[in-house]
Chain A
Amino acid sequence: MIIEIGHFALVLALFVAVVQAAVPMAGAQRGDAAWMAVARPAALAQFLLVAVAFGCLTHAFVTSDFSVLNVAQNSHSTKPMLYKVSGVWGNHEGSMLLWVLILAVFGCAVALFGRNLPPGLRSRALAIQGLISVGFLLFILFTSNPFARLLPAARDGQGLNPLLQDPGLAFHPPFLYLGYVGFSMAFSFAIAALIEGRVDAAWARWVRPWTLAAWSFLTVGIGLGSWWAYYELGWGGFWFWDPVENASFMPWLAGTALLHSSIVVEKRDTMKAWTVFLAIVAFSLSLLGTFLVRSGVLTSVHAFATDPKRGVFILILLIIVIGGSLALFAWRGPQLKSTGLFQPVSREGALLLNNLMMTVGTAVVLLGTLYPLFTDAMTGGQSKVSVGAPFYNAVFVPLMIPMIAAMAVGPMLSWKRGDLGAALTRLWLACAAAAVAVAVTWLVQTGGSVLGLIGVLFAAWLAVGTLVELAERVRLFRAPAGESLRRLARLPRAAWGMTLAHFGLAVVVAGITGAGVWKVESIQAMKPGDSVDVAGYTYTFHGAQEHQGPNYSALRGKFTVSRGGEPVVDLWPEKRVYTVRAMPTTEAAIHPTFWGDLYAVVGDAQPGGSFVTRLYFNPLVGWMWAGGLIMVLGGVLSLSDRRYRVGAPTRRRVPAGAAARA
């Protein structure tokens, strides 16, 4: 019964979404306040209905109702409760429902907190949200109904893919979706602004919190995903430039560009059409990401079972949304007049440079990701290629180097007219720090590559450059200490956000450099009693025993690790076989330290009583996630800035004539 309520609520949500898409939009066009006022209650009703549907599905998973096909295929009565709940979105149907739920949450948030928005903009933005919702609800109801019944009911479920039974992956999809769908808000505001033909500083302030929230969530989602890949897949790597990973990375790049360009719109009243374009691109890439992941058109190491019919549906949705919004942009975009050009050497010039490099970077990732599809289509399936990590390393990394070099300088330039020479002079400390870091690395790394030096150089440059900018702001050592402290306390949170985000990226760069360049790997067969040296640590293998877990049985190996005769840690890597699906998984044993992770994997038994083992030392790998967290912290701090809080800004009164002209 509850399942039918959920299904029914979802159908009702579709009807409400149609109303939400049509009535307020028509009202805004006709200037009819009563019609426009439909947007708010519709968005709230939409949220309630989708929440009811989601709640019903969750109930089915929690109570293990195996008369529901989706539950029977993806759950099992013996599964721990956390994974029963995360199993709701650990499958295609449920994850699409989660997508719509998050969309409804964002719409509901605009309805509740967007009181300061002009009614026209608010109702149009909510109408666009409704339209997106219509598309996805149709998709769910017609191709991926999570409420389909299974008659007769299964006696027990088939279990959740064991790789997904993991805390990191339980929360990875919700965060990723919060990011993806969050960009739908920027998109809706952009489309609404295109229809109104008006973008100004206040618009930029309204869009900013949504973009920032989406960006922060997406950063968390990507971080969780790579962390999961690192410890769960047992390859010792964290990023593979796989299509599915790129799918989440492209909206992030475009969203980062959008965050920066909207600052220029706000402060300097220019780059308007470009910002609107970026908002469209960021969301389009989110949709593309969904399509790539859900359709299985690309070979991915992270691909799960997929269904081509669904791919076609999302592809059509994709064409309508992207094609429609770009057509609207081509038609109305030129009307968004910017008030003036600006000096190349200035804060806005630096932000534009950031935008150029971020978009070129996005384009490169897009090209690499879609290239196999192009060749497949061009040659009629005769020539199948794949574009792997070496391509991205060869193209993306050189593109990011000038950006990181410029990142330390940009914030030091003033608006309108900056002084590059003065900025560079004030960055002497960053230069010195970078030089010292490179010298130290040169001494420490034995016969290492130039890449390591470059990574360290730019990480140190950016980190210290960012701190120098902060010191300049508070006039450290130039004013009395008390004055500096007072300034520090009064610093707007948005400024802290920038400092933290840039500093976090420096830490990420250091982590990627360490784990990418100086990783030490050793693969061999080991018998109990054998020892192997990896990066100065001695790993001694003590054999592997059978071990029983709650819903799996495992082969558990034991290593003792010592350094210079001193014991460091015991590592217990496992190879598990989950009983329900009889599916093996590798559980790496990881001992994190400040300077790097000790990482051990035990593999199959070889003839002669030995086991294949894989041992790694991953230098600085933890810095990458720590840096990601610092970046997110920056985003959250900036989000809490009173001046930018959701719905806080108000548009300055503009004479009616001026508004029409704008």
Chain B
Amino acid sequence: MKRKHKRLTFVVIALLLLAGAAALVLTAFEENIVFFHSPTDVVTKHPGPDRRLRLGGLVEEGSVEKEAGSAMVRFRITDLANSVPVVYQGILPDLFREGQGVVAEGRLRDGVFQADGVLAKHDENYMPPEVADALKQSGKWDEMSETMKRQGHVTKDGAK
């Protein structure tokens, strides 16, 4: 092989790899990107059941219901302006509590969010940024951070 050809071989391999990776990335993005929705988004946009979503907000006070004899849990996620009913089968995260921020992942079917995963955080002073933004957008952030302060959360810059 000539010098030029050798270099060309590597360039071709590199381009093929990149093209392959780009193709994989694009198809995977198409199918696997999950959009975040606040309860208000769900109420106003009515997303269909064909896409997976993340729904984030606070667990509505007094909304958690456990079904006898099964692992089914029902609760509502709220941004204090709107709320969406959620059903989930399984063990809730340790820091799942009424009034706490959570993010649920799943699909919306007939107005009920069927979650296959519920995320709360490792740290009770932590609020998922999306949930904080959703609360800010629904205009309830100040109210919320006041409550959190009263409950004795350590606050720095009011961001937690």
Show the binding face of A for B, using Cβ within 8 Å: 73, 158, 161, 163, 234, 296-299, 301-309, 341-344, 349, 352-353, 356-357, 360, 363-364, 367, 371, 381, 383-388, 390-391, 394-395, 398-399, 523-525, 575, 581, 583-586, 601, 603-604, 606-608, 610, 612-614
Contact yes or no, B133 A391, CB < 8 A: no
Per-position 1/0 for B43-80, Cβ under 8 A of A: 00000000000100000000000111111000000000
Contact yes or no, A73 B154, CB < 8 A: yes
| B24 CB–A CB distance under 8 Å | yes
Contact among A308, A356, A575 for B17, CB-based, below 8 A? A356
Min Cβ gap B101→A in Å is 11
Contact yes or no, B34 A385, CB < 8 A: yes
Interface segment, one of B3-11, B107-115, B139-147: B3-11
Contact yes or no, A395 B14, CB < 8 A: no
Contact yes or no, A608 B68, CB < 8 A: yes
Assuming the contacts A307-B159, A390-B31, A612-B71, asked whether A299 and B103 have C-beta atoms less than 8 A apart, the reply is yes
Assuming A303-B126, A385-B36, A390-B28, what are 11 further A-B pairs, CB within 8 angstroms? A305-B160, A307-B156, A308-B157, A341-B7, A371-B29, A383-B35, A387-B32, A387-B33, A394-B31, A395-B28, A606-B71
Contact among A163, A341, A353, A364 for B25, CB-based, below 8 A? A364
Complex Cα distance, B25 from A75, in Å, reads 44
Min Cβ gap A293→B in Å is 12
Assuming the contacts A307-B156, A341-B6, A357-B17, asked whether A614 and B32 have C-beta atoms less than 8 A apart, the reply is no
Complex Cα distance, B28 from A398, in Å, reads 12
User: Which of chain B's residues has its CB closest to A307's CB?
Assistant: B156
User: Which of chain B's residues has its CB closest to A352's CB?
Assistant: B10
User: Which of chain A's residues has its CB closest to B89's CB?
Assistant: A523
Interface residues in B108-143 (C-beta closer than 8 Å to A): 119, 121-126, 128-130, 133
Complex Cα distance, B122 from A583, in Å, reads 10
Assuming the contacts A341-B7, A604-B66, asked whether A585 and B128 have C-beta atoms less than 8 A apart, the reply is no
| B92 CB–A CB distance under 8 Å | yes
Contact among B9, B69, B91, B126 for A306, CB-based, below 8 A? B126
Number of A-B pairs whose CB atoms are under 8 Å? Answer: 156
Q: Mostly helix, strand, loop or mixed at chain A's interface? A: mixed
User: Which of chain B's residues has its CB closest to A342's CB?
Assistant: B6
Complex Cα distance, B130 from A384, in Å, reads 8
Complex Cα distance, B159 from A385, in Å, reads 21
Contact yes or no, A386 B25, CB < 8 A: no
Nearest 8 interchain pairs by C-beta: A603-B91, A384-B36, A608-B68, A394-B28, A391-B32, A607-B68, A305-B125, A390-B32
Contact yes or no, A614 B126, CB < 8 A: no
User: Which of chain A's residues has its CB closest to B160's CB?
Assistant: A305
Question: Which residues of chain B have C-beta atoms less than 8 A from A608's C-beta?
Answer: 68-69
Min Cβ gap A243→B in Å is 12
Assuming the contacts A299-B128, A308-B157, asked whether A584 and B95 have C-beta atoms less than 8 A apart, the reply is yes
23 A-B interface contacts by CB (under 8 A): A296-B129, A297-B129, A299-B103, A299-B128, A299-B130, A303-B121, A304-B122, A307-B156, A341-B6, A342-B6, A349-B10, A371-B29, A385-B36, A395-B25, A395-B28, A523-B89, A523-B91, A524-B71, A525-B71, A583-B94, A603-B91, A607-B66, A612-B90
Complex Cα distance, B157 from A614, in Å, reads 39
Complex Cα distance, B133 from A394, in Å, reads 30
Complex Cα distance, B122 from A353, in Å, reads 40
Min Cβ gap A634→B in Å is 26
